[in-house]
Amino acid sequence: MSDNTNKAFDQAAAFQKLWMDSMTGMAGVWSQYSPASPAPEETRKMRGGMLKVLTETWDQFMRTPQFMEMMKSSLNGALDLRRFARDGMNRVHEQFETPNKTDIDGILLAIRHVERRILDRLEGFEDRVADVKDRIEALEETLQGQTRPSKQPQRKPAKATKQSSNK
């Protein structure tokens, strides 16, 4: 037989041993039942014993190299399936010329970058506006301290008219 077949039989035998150990342990818990004990208390003890047996046998099984290898291959298969599905969807988007997740993620990243730059610039403008406001207030204080010239317009002197000097 091939190695794959032997491996499958070994895995089945390990799983069968796990179940046999679990059932044997649970049968041992049930055999401790005594009719003289009160029913609720005895039921709690049996439930606790069964859970303890199951926990111990499954814990031992989950620590075996076969189980770890099976979980590793299962997780690798799930990751491969995810990659395959993502690549297939990307090809579909490419064929229909629609944006895919990578395109949208790139656009969102660019928008976040632009947003950050705009916010940084606005903070700079806020500082500049505060500086201009302070300068205007200082100028107003300076102007208020000086006397202001009157608002009446000054008259220009009248031009002398030419009188005839040839009389």
Q: Give the range of the structural domain holding residue 109, as residue numbers without chain letter.
A: 99-143
**Domain end point (choices 67, 98, 129):** 98
**Residue 159 falls inside a structural domain:** no
**Residue 43 falls inside a structural domain:** yes
DSSP class of 153 = P
Q: Are residues 107 and 138 in the same domain?
A: yes
Q: Are residues 123 and 88 in the same domain?
A: no
**Residue 6 falls inside a structural domain:** no
**Residue 112 falls inside a structural domain:** yes
Q: Are residues 64 and 124 in the same domain?
A: no
The per-residue pLDDT for 117 is 95
pTM: 0.42
The helix/strand count (H/E) of the chain reads as 4, 0
**Domain end point (choices 73, 98, 123):** 98
The per-residue pLDDT for 11 is 78
The per-residue pLDDT for 167 is 45
Q: Mean pLDDT, the chain, as a whole number?
A: 81
Q: Are residues 24 and 90 in the same domain?
A: yes
The per-residue pLDDT for 130 is 92
